[in-house]
Amino acid sequence: MKRIILNFQKKEEDFKELVQEAFNRDVLNFLVSNKTLSEFKNIERVKTFAWNSDLDVDYIIFRDLAELERILEQEDIKKSIGYYKELKSKEDELEIKKLSNNPKLNFIIVSASDWKIIPFENLIAEMHKKDTELIAEVENLAEAELMLKTLEIGVDGILIIPKTANDLIELKNLIGTGFKIELTEAEIINIQTIPESDRVCVDTTSLLLPGEGMLVGSTAKGFALIHAEVFETQFVASRPFRVNAGDVSAYILVPEEDPNKEESYRTKYLSEIKGGDKVLVINSKGAVRIASVGRVKIETRPMIRFEMQSEQAGKKVPISCICQNAETIRLVDPEGNAKSVVDIKEGDKVLVHIGPGATHFGTAIEETIIEK
C-alpha cells in the first residue's frame, strides 16, 4: 500500500476537522511538530514523523547528510529514520540512489521544484525493489497523482499538506479505493428487444482487464456488471478501454465525492457522464478501482432489455438493464465468464449488485420511490 504522509506541523483553523477526516479515511501517517504531536499520542496505528530528534515520534527525518551518516554508522539505531533531500541536480539524484542502498534508512523524502518527471522516473527505476521507501513531497493533488503513477509503479508514498477534507478523499482514491462491492447472482426472467435507443459508450483513460466492467442499471434497485470490450473478434478489434454501458437513462456507479457520506459510491445517469469524470471499474470478484473518463460516445443503436430477479434477505429484488444488441456486448455469469448478450437466454444467471433502492441526485436516501 502506498504511504500518504500528511504535513500537520501547523495548527490551522481547520486542523481538527482535517485530522478527524484523516482518521475517518484511514490515513494515519503524520508529520508533526512540538505544537501538534500531542494530538496524535497514544492513538492506535498512527505513525508520527518529525524533523526534531528530541520528539517522541516513530520516525525521525534528517536534512543534514553528515548527521545522517553519523547515525547510520551506529549499530543500535533506536528509531526509524529517513532523509529529506531537495533534488536540484544529477549529483543530488546520485546521492539519493547511493543512500537507498543502506538498509538502515527507512525512507527518503524527495522534493523537486524544477525537473520532476525524469529524475523521479530514474529514482523509481532504481529504488522500486529496495527496502528504502521513495517518498515524493508534492504541492497538490495533480502532483500527487503524477508521482503515484509515474512509470506505472509510482513512488512509494507522498508528503502533502491537505487543504480540504475533499483532498483526503481524492488521495485515498489515488492509492486505491480500499473497498469491494458485493456482487450476487440474478436470473434472467424476460428479454425484450428495443428497435432503437441512444446508447452510451464510456471510454476510459485506462486499459481494462478481462473480468472487469462497470455496474449499470435501469433503476437504483440493482446494477448488472457490463463487461469491458477487451476481447478480439474476427469482425471487430478489441477496445480494452471501453465499456458499452447502456442507454442514456441508465444509472452507473461513480465514486462518492462528499466527505460527509459513509457510502463508497453514488450514481449518475449515463447521459451525464463526460470526459474528465471518474467512474468505478469493478471485476467479477467485486474488487473496485477508479478510472478517468477520456470521452463518451452516444449513438443510436438497436438495444435489448433484460429483466432479472435477485434475492436479498428472503425478498425478491427486480433488476433491469438495457444493452446494445450486439455480439461484442457482454454480461458476466456467476463463474466470472463474459457472455455475449445475444447468447443470453431466460433462465441464465448473471452477476449483479443490489443497490440502495432510492436515490436523490445520485445519493442513496430513505424514501419511498417506485421505479419499474
The two beta strands, 349-354 and 47-50, are: unpaired
Task: Tell me the sheet residues that pair with 278.
Answer: 292
Q: For position 259, what pLDDT does the model report? A: 46
Residues 6+ apart with CB under 8 A from 121: 150, 151
Q: For position 36, what pLDDT does the model report? A: 94
For 86, what's the count of Cα atoms within 13 Å in the CB-facing half-sphere?
A: 5
pLDDT mean over 115-132: 89
> Coil, strand, or helix at residue 362?
coil
Residue 267 host element (H or E): strand 265-269
Work out the percent of the chain whose per-residue pLDDT is above 70: 92
pLDDT digits (tens, 9 = 90+) for 35-69: 999 999 888 889 999 998 889 999 999 999 999 99
Q: Which residue in 66, 49, 38 sits closest to 6, CA to CA?
A: 49
> Coil, strand, or helix at residue 126?
helix
244 or 116, greater pLDDT: 244
pLDDT digits (tens, 9 = 90+) for 277-303: 999 999 999 988 888 999 999 999 999
pLDDT mean over 201-213: 93
> Coil, strand, or helix at residue 39?
helix
pLDDT mean over 135-152: 87
Residue tagged 462518492 (cell numbers): 256
Residues 6+ apart with CB under 8 A from 73: none
Residue 291 host element (H or E): strand 288-312
What is the average pLDDT value for the chain, to the nearest integer?
89
Class of residue 18 by CB neighbours under 10 A (exposed 0-12, middle 13-18, buried 19+): buried
105 or 367, greater pLDDT: 105
Count CB atoms within 10 A of the CB of residue 84. 18
For 119, what's the count of Cα atoms within 13 Å in the CB-facing half-sphere?
A: 22
In order of their start, the domains of the chain are 3-174 (3.20.20.390), 184-364 (no CATH)
DSSP class of 33: -
What interhelical angle do 90-99 and 117-127 show, nearest 10?
A: 20
The CA–CA distances, whole Å, from 214 to 96, 115, 169, 223, 226 equal 42, 38, 21, 9, 5
Note whether 155 and 134 are within 8 A (CB).
yes
Q: For position 260, what pLDDT does the model report? A: 47
Query: Which triple of cell numbers denotes residue 76?
Result: 543500535
Give the Cα separation of 214 and 158 in Å (integer).
Answer: 29
Q: Tell me the whole-structure pTM to 2 decimals.
A: 0.58
Please give the angle made by the CA atoms of 144, 145 and 151, to the nearest 5 degrees: 110
The CA–CA distances, whole Å, from 203 to 200, 227, 242 equal 9, 13, 4
Class of residue 309 by CB neighbours under 10 A (exposed 0-12, middle 13-18, buried 19+): middle
Give the Cα separation of 143 and 255 in Å (integer).
Answer: 21
pLDDT mean over 248-263: 76
Query: Which triple of cell numbers denotes residue 290?
Result: 477508479
Lowest mean per-residue pLDDT among 43-52, 175-184, 274-283, 310-319? 175-184
Give the Cα separation of 326 and 347 in Å (integer).
Answer: 20
Q: Is the pLDDT of residue 262 over 80?
A: no
**What is the maximum alpha-carbon separation in the chain?**
77
Q: For position 365, what pLDDT does the model report? A: 44
Q: Which residue in 157, 149, 185 sits closest to 333, CA to CA?
A: 185
Lowest mean per-residue pLDDT among 9-13, 170-174, 250-254, 257-261? 257-261
H-only helix segments in 190-272 = none
Q: Which residue in 184, 94, 145 sits closest to 292, CA to CA?
A: 145
